[in-house]
Structures are given as structure tokens and as C-alpha cells.
Amino acid sequence: MESGDKPQQLRLYLIILLGGGGFILLCLVCLIGGILWKGNILPSGALTRTALVQLFETPVSLLPSPSDTGITTQETGLPSQIPRSTQELPTATPSPTLLFTPPIFFDPPKGIIVYTCFVEEYDQICIMNADGAKQIKLTGDDATSFYPSFSPDGQSIIYASKRDGRFQIYSMDLNGGNLERLTDGIGSLYAPEISPNGNRIVFTAESGGEQSIWVMRRDGANPRPVSRQEGMGWDPTWSPDSDRIAFASDREGSVQLYTINTNGTNLRRITRGVSGIGGRSSWSPDGESLVFYAGNQGDRDIYLIDVNGKNLRQLTDGGDNLGPSYSPDGQWITFTSFRDGNNEIYVMREDGTQVTRLTGRGEADYQPRWGP
């Protein structure tokens, strides 16, 4: 090599050396940047929305979420290729896909409901939670039993049962034990109900084709008619203060609702001009209203009226509804309805909304009465 070539060789060596060093330096910078990008050195939250907008063509903030559209979809507008690290990427949780239509949900009412259930060719006494759970049959004799109601403490049930040729009043514990017959020799007896103070029982007594309202002590002693006045009466129910009794009567021609003091005084007619009133009614817990049923046979509805006879309002519309009973807190009403082709037990709010069926065995369930 000639001496004139040495400066050129030196420049070539310098270019190679600088180029190689630059390449190594570039690799080091990339390595450090990669580590920083993975978040091992950057503080938490350093991956900002601005960085996301730079990564993707469509900003995440502009994409509609499932809650905005009401539609669950797999297409979000994001590219199919996902960055290696998605640790900090905000994601939208999709709405679940409904595989079936869930049953109607409501805030469960409190307490227990006792009712008449038709089982194996006989009316029997059953109980269930007020949300329809734990339906249990308490009686099992070959005898018709119906018109059940609770004691105020919820520990016992009284009802009418035909065991010796005519209906008498019986009492049993909540588990069906400790069966006791409370009446004898008065006639056929129906619709017993214990007073809220727990001292007396009111019931319907039928003798010689006449029905009248009677009371007796809690143990069945000292039975007597509430009033000696002429006129039939049936399906009595206590006021919350245990001082008055509401009942149905046709003493003035058509069947209407009345109230009377337990000593037979202060007879008052509550309804006027309401046709087709049925028997069983129920006081509101505050003693201000009565819930009852009325209408043509096969098309009866539930109504609410103030005890002064004013402010009549209809709660149901069609379905043949009967036998209403207030919940202890006054927020719910249970009743029987044929709206689904069979007598079943329902609950609804006091204003007639949120109607929910509780039973559905395919056999008749009716005459519900709410307990504590």
C-alpha cells in the first residue's frame, strides 16, 4: 500500500469505530426505553390516556360503552392486535348475556303466610314465607280444614276443620303439633281469628241456616254472639286495637261491609252501592282502612276503603281476586287470584303494584292470612 493511502485508511477505521459504537449506544437506549415502557421504573399511572390515543387510531374515550348503547358487542373499534403489556389499559366490562328470562324480583316482604292448600282430595293447612319460600303442609288428616289465621305472636294457628260431621275450631302450633279442639255444641263454625291482644277469638257460627258473629276466650271458653240484633253476618276480622270487628252482612238487602264494637254497640255500615262484596276483609295495621273484594262471580277485584266509608279505590283489574290480607307492616297485601288459570296466592304492594305470584303447584291454594 502506498503512503498516500494511510489517511484514507485511518478515516475508514474511525468511521467503522464510530458506527459500531453508535449502534451499541442505540441498542442501549432502546433497551432502557423498553424497560421504562414496561412500567418497571415509571411510577404508577404514568401510562396516560394520551399514550393510548397515540397507540390506537381511535381514542378509547370516544368509544361507546355497553351501558351507553344497551347492546353487548364484541366489536369495540379497537385494532385486533393487542400491545404486549395491557396492564394499565382501561377495559370495559361487557353486559352478561341472558340465557333465560329471570323471574320477577321484588324486595321480599317479611313474615309468614298461612293458607288453605288442596292436597290429596282434601283442603289442608299450609304455611310459607312471605316471599313464597318453604311451603309446608301442616295438617294431614282425612278431613277438610280451612279458614286459617295466626296468633299475634305467630307461634300458633287456629282454623276450622270438619272432623266430626260439622266444622269446629281447632288450634295447633306452628309446626303442626299440639292440636287442640276449642269448640263444641254451638253449630258449624268458620273463619276464626284471634284478637291482636291475644285474649279472644271471633268467628262465624251457623245454625238453622243463620250465620252470626260470635266471640269467645282464647281457650274456647264463654262463647257468645256479639250482637242480638237481627241480621246475618260472616267472615269477621279484628281491628288492630282489638275493640272493633269488621264483617260482611246482607242485613239491608245487598252484601256490604260493617263494623261493630265487641260489646255489640256502634254498628256502622262502611260500604254503600258496592255490588258483589265477598266475605273476608282485612284491616290496615294503622286501623284506618279495610281491604276487601267485590264484583261479579268469576270477575272479582280487590278494593281499599277508609273505615269512614270514603276514598274507595280499586287495586286489581281482572283475574278473579279474593280473600285479601294485609302484611303486619302495611306495605303489602296477599290475596287469591285465578288470573293464571288456577287459584294461586299472590302478593302486591298496598297501591296495587308489583303483583307477584307465590304458589304454583297446579292445585288450589287460597285463603291466605298474613302472620308476623
> What is d(CA 233, CA 68) in angstroms, rounded to the nearest whole number?
61
**What pLDDT does 100 receive?**
28
Residue 64: the pLDDT is 29
Cα–Cα distances (Å) from 35 to 41, 240, 296, in that order, read 7, 76, 83
Backbone dihedral angles phi then psi of residue 173, each to the nearest 5 degrees: -70, 170
Of residues 111, 148, 136, 107, the one with CA closest to residue 356: 107
Rounded distance between C-alpha atoms, residue 359 and residue 201, angstroms = 29
Q: What is the pTM of this model?
A: 0.72
Look-up of cell digits 276480622 = 237
In 3D space, the residue among 41, 90, 87, 35 whose CA is nearest the CA of residue 61 turns out to be 90
The amino acid that residue 142 corresponds to is: D
At residue 231, the pLDDT reads: 74
- Write out the DSSP string of 239-304: -TTSSEEEEEE-TTSS-EEEEEETTS---EE---S--S--S--EE-TTSSEEEEEEEETTEEEEEE
Instruction: Please identify which residue in the block is written with the cell numbers 426505553.
Output: 33
Contacts for 180-185: CB closer than 8 Å, 24+ residues apart? 181/220, 182/158, 182/216, 182/219, 182/220, 183/216, 183/220, 183/223
Looking at residue 48, the DSSP 8-state letter turns out to be -
Beta-strand relationship, 365-371 and 282-283: unpaired
Q: What stretches in the chain show pLDDT beneath 70?
A: 1-106, 230
Instruction: Identify the pLDDT of residue 230.
Output: 67
Domains and CATH numbers, the chain: 112-371 (2.120.10.30)
DSSP secondary structure code for residue 14 in this structure? H
Residue 17's pLDDT is: 43
Instruction: Express each pLDDT in 31-61 by its tens digit.
Output: 444 443 444 333 333 333 322 222 222 222 2
The phi, psi pair for 97, rounded to 5°, reads -85, 125
- Strand 365-371 with 112-119, pairing: antiparallel
CB 223 within 8 A of CB 186: yes
